[in-house]
Chains A and B, each alone.
Chain A
Amino acid sequence: MDAYLVAILTIAGIYVILALALNLQFGLTGLVNFGVVGFFGLGAYASGIATESFHAPFIGGLAVAMATGALAGAALALLCLRLSGDFLAIVTLGFAETVRLIFNNEDWLTGGPKGLLIMTRPVLADFGRTANAWMVLGVVLTGAVLTLALMLRLAGTPYGRVLRAIREDELVPATLGKNVFVYRLQSFVIGSMLMAAAGSLYAHYVQTITPDNFTTPVAILVWMSVIVGGPGNMLGAVVGALAVVTIYEGSRFLTPWLGFLDAEQVSALRFIVIGTALILVIRFRPEGLLPEPRHTPVVPATRRPALKG
């Protein structure tokens, strides 16, 4: 039981980081990024390749992952950030799918469908299974806490206010002299960098990754975390991620009750419930569990005309 709890908390921690990153992009800045699993996967593979093929330590792998995520995010953003919401979503979705196809196809690099085996773990030394598991959990939770702290910082400061203003109406911040595109770019890149970091943590936790780990259902779970938790509210994203992981993992326990269904069907049923829940939340409580906290509105500094002496 204990080991299972550690496992769930580790996964939850990773989803918390993903949700926080998406919340920065969508919740604060209004960018509909469906490429979550693309960056997640890039981080995972980049970190794995760095540590396995180039014998970097875990930290090196993490750094490589974050760099890859930031670069990919920047490239994608430069290309298509100017697109409107629905089309940005489609293109980012395409990015994730294409990345996954590349993972599958270029098996000389990634091991293809068979997967990539990762021996390196974020542990000090091998103290046995349980201790290792706790160590990994510790690293993941540290990452989650750091991310949360960073996000709270960003959200609470004038930077966050600008992002929110951009989300509501581009024209107003633009007329106040803010370079809207740069703000969006920064938001997107920070987000994608964090998603890649989560990927690195994930890869070194599960130790075998295949392209099938980075498919749409994962993206839907992350989106659910943000929407259910409350878009724009960082604590909400944490709550949302915890709730979604609990429901998703918890529903495994229903399997004995659903003995009349086969494994395929139970899996499908869980996805049906998740997808429907997402639609229902969007319909009936789009502000999520923890609505966005009201911040004082940005008041442009009034300029007094220079007094003639």
Chain B
Amino acid sequence: MQMFINALATAAILAPAAVAFTLIFTLFRYANFAAGGFVTVGAFAAWTLNAPLGLPLWAGGVGAMGVCAGAVALSDRVVFRPLRGRSGGTLLLVSIALSFVIENIIRFGFGAQVKGFDLPLTGPLVFAGLRVPKETLFVIAVSLVATLAVGALLSFTPIGRALRAVADNPSLANVRGLPVPGVEAFGVIVAGALFGLSGTLVGVDLAIDPNLNWAIAIPVIAAAIVGGLGSPLGAAIGAVVIGLAEELTAAHFTPTYKGAVGFVVIALVLLLRPQGLLGIKVDRK
């Protein structure tokens, strides 16, 4: 049961970023490996606002979402948009290089030392034989609310419909009068904000350092793939699956191999059921 709580905590951190990853994939048809980099940006942005600048955590989180939205928008405009016509493999290569650059810019600016948020120490909640740190509950709650909010946005609002339409068929959206560039920009900003949120949540539960990039990129991508690319709900479910898989691996093998779990899951899904749990068959480049 303790394991289940831990898995949920991991899932809560991964879910927003996984949803963001799948959003970018459906809108622009490439796997953006820089997801890890953006989450790291979020973590450090939140930390900068919280520790040296003394703002409360929620302000740090909001700031992180803003900074990440800007970072994703900037990288889309400067790096990815000019390469729109190229193959998925090229775009992935570029996104790997970008994540590498982002990680090292952070390392350059902040050093490699592990950092933590300036949070008041609170004791864990103890019930039913479980010890659950309050931070963990907070992380799970915030993530759940955010994921549901994004889901509602996509399902019930005009802009959410427009986003789904553009993701489905951009040329038809154009012909039907939808402002495609504006909708894409909106999608980019939502994705960026979600990366920022994941980054902030990581900082609450785990440590903040530049190596976060690698550690988080693969579980996030794995969650999105398991859930099915193109389905935000799937991404959220995928996050839970990955969380569970990691906990099980840590329990039955050694914790060192946790990092390999994401890859193994990705390989299995791509081989056995490429569309994941809820995914739609998408034409890829």
Q: Do A and B touch directly, given a CB cutoff of 8 Å in the complex?
A: yes
Residue B146, interface by CB 8 Å: no
Given A85-B87, A97-B218, A101-B260, the answer on whether A278 and B266 have CB atoms closer than 8 Å is no
* A97 touching B263 in the complex, CB below 8 Å, given contacts A86-B30, A264-B112, A268-B107: yes
Contacts of B214 in A (CB 8 A): 97, 216
Q: Does B74 contact A (CB under 8 A)?
A: no
Which residues of chain A are within 8 angstroms of B267 by Cβ–Cβ distance?
Answer: 79-80, 91, 94
Q: List chain A residues, Cβ under 8 A from B94.
A: 278-279, 282
Chain A nearest CB: distance from B132 CB in Å? 29
Binding-face segment, B96-104, B150-158, B165-173: B96-104
Residue numbers in A under 8 Å from B127 (CB-CB): none
When the two chains form their complex, are residues A86 and B89 in contact, meaning their CB atoms are under 8 A apart? yes
Is B88's CB under 8 angstroms from A91's CB? Answer: no
Which of B92, B271, B285 is packed against the most chain A CB atoms within 10 Å? B92
Residues of A within 8 A of B111 (CB): 262, 264-265
Question: How far, in angstroms, from A91 to B225 measured CA to CA in the complex?
Answer: 12
A34 and B31 CA atoms in complex are apart in Å by 14
Hey, what's the 0/1 contact readout for A81-116 against B, CB within 8 Å counting as 1? 001111111110111011001001100000000000
In the complex, the answer to whether B256 meets A105 with C-beta atoms within 8 Å is: yes
Q: Which of A30, A86, A98, A276 contacts B284 (CB 8 A)?
A: A86
Cβ of B254 within 8 Å of any chain A Cβ, yes or no, is yes
Q: Does A146 contact B (CB under 8 A)?
A: no
The reply to whether the CB of A71 lies closer than 8 angstroms to some CB of chain B is no
| Residue numbers in B under 8 Å from A94 (CB-CB) | 218, 260, 262-264, 266-267
Contact A89 B92 (CB under 8 A): yes
Question: What CA separation (Å) do A177 and B202 show in the bound complex?
Answer: 53
* Interface residue? A39 (CB, 8 A): no
- A27 → chain B, closest Cβ, in Å? 12
Q: Which residues of A contact B31 (CB under 8 A)?
A: 86-87, 90
Asked if A272 CB lies within 8 Å of chain B CBs, one says: yes
Given contacts A105-B256, A265-B108, contact A84 B221 (CB under 8 A): no
Contacting pair A97 B98 (CB below 8 A): no
Q: Does A223 contact B (CB under 8 A)?
A: yes
* 5 more CB-based (< 8 A) A-B contacts, given A91-B270, A98-B260: A93-B263, A94-B263, A268-B104, A271-B104, A283-B79
Instruction: Return the 3 tightest CB-CB contacts between A and B, nearest first.
Output: A94-B263, A85-B89, A275-B101
Q: List 20 A-B contacts (CB under 8 A).
A: A34-B96, A79-B267, A79-B271, A85-B92, A86-B30, A87-B31, A87-B270, A88-B89, A94-B260, A94-B264, A97-B263, A220-B96, A264-B112, A268-B104, A275-B97, A278-B94, A282-B83, A282-B93, A282-B97, A286-B86
